[in-house]
Amino acid sequence: MKTSKASWLIFVFMLGCLSLRSHAQGHDEAARALATKVMQAMGGRENWEKTTELAFDFVVESEGKEVTRRSHVWNRATSGYSLNWKGNQDGKTYRIEFSDIYQKTGQVWIDDQIPPDSTRQQLLERGYALFINDTYWLIMPFKLFDPGVTLREAPGENKNGVDYRVLHLSFENVGLTPGDQYWLWIDPASFRIQGWRYKLQSNHEGAYLWENYQSFGAVTLPLRRVTEDGKRAIWFDKVRVNSGK
């Protein structure tokens, strides 16, 4: 299965970040307090943990043109997961129905046909990696206390006349690229993340601004990330968040 260079870069960018089952790691007290306020500004860990279903389209846009779209439906109550996308180069439609996303079990279709077992297993692995990547882009603020994450409050940064507090994330022996580092720009009044910059283990550096915060019941999510030059964006469409009563 082929993927475009752009899609692969985004995929690699977040693969180093962790699996989605989480709890806290050691941090300095200032960083812990700041991260807690960030999470509370998004609705709080308790409300996120009440979420039973999350659905969204992960969309990549380059210079105003949509280049990638993947549709996700995550049943957090059962660990079931549905993922659909169209190949950028081969034009084929890929569909994966996980019976358990964490066990990587389920069925795969390519253009509505079940592929050979070897291809099926490759696509289950690929689908799991996309689950990790795409959900992390959307719900990262709820994952600040994941195991292996080290948080430090870094010196503040001024951007566009605003003095942001900065939360630094590094990773200890987790993920594919534990040398990655991220700096979150946090609004000192709202405690919402307004953007991040990163330096990857490969020494690649970049930054995205976070925009379009919207509330879904008790949970708030930012639905758009855009590079500072405006040429590239990652955004979320058809978002649905359901919570158990």
pLDDT tens figures, 65-103:
999 999 999 999 999 999 999 998 899 999 999 999 999
Question: pLDDT digit string (tens) for 188-198?
Answer: 999 999 999 98
pLDDT value for 87: 93
pLDDT for 202 equals 83
| Domain-embedded: residue 12 | no
Residue 11, domain member (yes or no): no
What residues make up the domain containing 106?
Answer: 18-239
The owner of tokens 């700041």 is: 34
The DSSP element (H or E) to which 11 belongs, if any, is helix 5-15
User: 5, exposed or middle or buried, with CB in 10 Å at 0-12, 13-18, 19+?
Assistant: exposed
Average pLDDT over residues 217-243: 97
Q: What is the pLDDT of residues 13-64, one digit of tens each?
A: 555 554 444 444 456 899 999 999 999 999 999 999 999 999 999 999 999 9
* pLDDT higher than threshold 70 for residue 241: yes
84 domain residue, yes or no: yes
In a domain, 172, yes or no: yes
pLDDT tens per residue across span 142-175: 999 988 899 999 999 998 899 999 999 998 876 6
Confidence at 5, pLDDT banded by 50, 70, 90: very low
Token pair recorded at residue 52? 């039973």
Q: Domain of 84: which CATH number?
A: 2.50.20
Q: How many domains does the chain have?
A: 1
Global pTM value: 0.86
CA separation (Å) from 7 to 12, 13, 61, 74? 9, 10, 10, 21
HSE, CB side, 13 Å, CA atoms: give it for residue 243.
14
Q: What is the pLDDT of residues 116-146, one digit of tens each?
A: 999 999 999 999 999 988 998 999 999 999 8
What pLDDT score does 122 carry? 97
The pLDDT score that the predictor gives to residue 189 is 96
Does residue 4 lie within any of the structural domains?
A: no
Q: What is the pLDDT of residue 18?
A: 47
Is residue 76 in a domain? yes
Long-range CB pairs of 126-130, under 8 A, 24+ apart, other chains included: 126/1, 127/81, 127/83, 127/96, 127/98, 128/98, 128/101, 128/104, 129/11, 129/15, 130/11, 130/70, 130/83, 130/85
The answer to the question of residue 5 being in a domain is no
pLDDT at 180: 84
**Token pair recorded at residue 138:** 């959307």
pLDDT of the residue at 201: 78
